[in-house]
Amino acid sequence: MFTGKESDDRQTAISREFARRHDIRAPWWAEPGDGIFHFFFPEQGLVVPGAFIPGADSHSRAYGAYGAIGMGVGSTTLGFGWSTGSIYFTLAKQRRVVLDGTLNPWVNGKDIVLELLRRWGAAQSAGMGVEFVDAAKQLPIPFRNTICNMMAEAEAQNGLFAQDDITTAWFAERGIELPYPVIGPGADAVYAVDEAFDLGEVVPMVAKPFSPGNAFPADEVAKERIVFDKAMIGSCTNGGYEDLLGAALLLKAARGAGLDRIAAGREFLIFPGSGLVKKQIEQPDRRLGGDSIADVFRAAGGEVRDSWCGPCFGQGPDALTAGQRAITTFNRNWQNRMGLGGEGYLASPQVVAASALAGYIASPAEIGLTWDPSVFAV
């Protein structure tokens, strides 16, 4: 926590004393700055395929990207679980979404989930558990993280990509051993809703206030020339290395189009998902010609912040004030969510980066960039 509020410092002190008393150490205890735990836990191998993880925070649903059942149960229920060793759980009806078709240029996990929320409308998922099937095995873990994370906004009990080769490879690359056998749906699995979702119908999206489901194609929104005060990339939804790399690749390419800096009068702020990601983005990346992601952000006028939730829930010095507007990669743009009287728009890291350069909410195409997977794919 970096709010500077006495009440928050007191809460952190209580947690620190609890950890000391019960000899809870890293990685089960994390210091402020170690990261948003939805990124920190998987990095540490504390989230693995086959695990069942109730979390106090609603975005614990993100663990579904890693083949685990993650769901938000609130701090009271979780405290009961700590005290007794169990929680009350009612199995929800299941909903399967088969993701197939070819991804369009610039489309990633954020666009997919915004389009899904748009289609589901006010009813959203009706509290079901949502099982996603990556039929073509083309969605990397960062895309899946964004989709499962925002099952909180879909009012789903959880989101889940069952373990597959992509999941297994992610853990193998990090040297994390998996304790459970591979679990998948059986032949007799029953779904209350079984739907197909053609990824070829998805384009870069922007969600307008005050709902993540109030989403429109970014190219259409660009025509409105909606100006803003802050462009912010990161959070538990899009704060991974690949998320930040996608934005940096766009910024690097934009230099060739004469867009070297963000538009005058705008703030461009980056919130890495974890302390590890913050360290990683300071290292040279061959895809950026040896520059680091952080170097590219700073060269464009961006500022890299500590890893925390901050303005995503209207806290800290970067929270919106009355009358301010932001284009962000966060997960919620409800009224007053990013700060009392502020107004939030949601989009992918690439759309937010393009907007920062344009000075109004824009798509990559709007600033003259043409999709080339060898340059921009992550």
Answer whether residue 7 shows pLDDT above 90: no
> What would the mean pLDDT of 316-327 be, rounded to a whole number?
96
Alpha-carbon distance values, 314 to 210, 238, 344 (Å): 15, 17, 11
Answer whether residue 1 shows pLDDT above 70: no
Answer whether residue 2 shows pLDDT above 90: no
Look-up: residue for tokens 């769901």?
Answer: 71
> What would the mean pLDDT of 115-134 be, rounded to a whole number?
97
A 10 A CB-CB count for 373 gives 9
> What would the mean pLDDT of 128-133 be, rounded to a whole number?
98
pLDDT of residue 4: 78
pLDDT of residue 243: 97
Answer whether residue 12 shows pLDDT above 90: no
Query: Residues, the chain, total?
Result: 378
- Look over the chain and give the mean of its residue pLDDT values, rounded to a whole number: 95
- 3-state helix, strand, coil split of the chain in percent (to 5) is 35, 15, 45
Which pLDDT band holds residue 272 (cuts at 50, 70, 90)? very high
- Produce one character per residue of 22-48: b if its CB has 16 or more CB atoms within 10 Å, e if not: eeeeeeeebeeebbbbbbbbbbbebbb
Answer whether residue 261 shows pLDDT above 90: yes
Q: Which of 227, 293, 308 is nearest to 263 (CA)?
A: 227
